[in-house]
């Protein structure tokens, strides 16, 4: 029986793809890397440190430290979260459904905790979540299952009794590797990709999630 629902933040709770894309294109250009929107998608689901390390491994630079790049990304993305972030369409209805069903809600995200808190504060969502966990201080980030394993431990609920909502391949792999059931909502560029076929349920939008889906997943 499912006892908890665990949400990723970016792409599930808030619509932040464009915010991250614009910040990454600007900051990485300062170290000589010209990222396109397509290239930015290669690191979707990774945390900031892993994203920076990923591009450094591919195109090493010398004019800035990795920490400086991290700092510059945060200087752009934090105000963007506070001012421009929007909720994903259908998320509030899904969240309310689980609250009404008596299912404990949590967040497991690769996003820095400071940004998670900024988003939750903006949309007054703190009271909905029992646990809020970021992988920024974990040894491993998604697609490693650590962030989901740690969240389940904090909830004191077996991972097998948790349902994860994810939008990225890396995130969905992490949740499945933690032995959770997974609902994946890929972006429009990946909705027809067979790489998500391992998920327990794939939908085009959170708006498409219905009580019957929960009944199917809860068997």
| Separation of alpha carbons 121 and 115, rounded Å | 10
Q: Structurally, what CATH architecture does the domain formed by 17-83 represent?
A: Orthogonal Bundle (1.10)
Phi, psi of 98 (to 5 degrees): -70, -35
What is the model's pTM? 0.91
| Separation of alpha carbons 93 and 160, rounded Å | 24
The ranges of the chain annotated as CATH 1.10.150 are 17-83
The ranges of the chain annotated as CATH 3.40.50.1000 are 4-15+86-217
| Separation of alpha carbons 124 and 193, rounded Å | 34
CA-based angle 68:70:72, to the nearest 5?
A: 70
Q: Structurally, what CATH architecture does the domain formed by 4-15+86-217 represent?
A: 3-Layer(aba) Sandwich (3.40)
Mind listing the pLDDT tens digit of every residue in the chain (219 residues)? 999 999 999 999 999 988 999 999 999 999 999 999 989 988 987 889 989 999 999 999 999 999 999 999 999 999 999 999 999 999 999 999 999 999 999 999 999 999 999 999 999 999 999 999 999 888 898 999 999 999 999 999 999 999 999 999 999 999 999 999 999 999 877 788 899 999 999 999 999 999 999 999 998
pLDDT digits (tens, 9 = 90+) for 175-198: 999 999 999 999 877 788 899 999
Q: Which residues are catalytic?
A: 8, 10
pLDDT digits (tens, 9 = 90+) for 25-52: 999 999 999 999 989 988 987 889 989 9
């Amino acid at each position: 029986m499912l006892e908890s629902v665990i949400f990723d933040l970016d792409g599930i709770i808030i619509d932040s793809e464009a915010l991250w894309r614009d910040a990454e294109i600007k900051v990485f250009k300062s170290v000589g890397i010209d990222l396109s929107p397509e290239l930015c998608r290669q690191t979707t689901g990774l945390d900031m440190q892993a994203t920076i390390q990923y591009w450094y491994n591919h195109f090493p630079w010398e004019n800035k430290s990795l920490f400086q790049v991290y700092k510059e990304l945060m200087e752009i993305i934090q105000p963007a979260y506070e001012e421009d972030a929007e909720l994903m369409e259908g998320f509030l209805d899904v969240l309310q459904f689980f609250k009404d069903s008596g299912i404990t809600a949590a967040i497991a995200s690769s996003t820095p905790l400071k940004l998670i808190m900024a988003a939750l504060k903006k949309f007054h969502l703190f009271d909905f979540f029992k646990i809020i966990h970021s992988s920024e201080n974990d040894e491993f980030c998604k697609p490693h299952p650590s962030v989901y394993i740690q969240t389940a431990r904090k909830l004191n609920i077996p991972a097998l009794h948790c349902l994860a909502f994810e939008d990225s391949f890396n995130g969905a792999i992490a949740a499945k590797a933690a032995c959770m059931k997974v609902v994946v909502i890929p972006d429009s560029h990946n909705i027809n990709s067979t790489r998500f076929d391992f998920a327990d349920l794939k939908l085009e939008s959170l708006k498409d999630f219905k009580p019957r889906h929960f009944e199917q997943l809860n068997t």
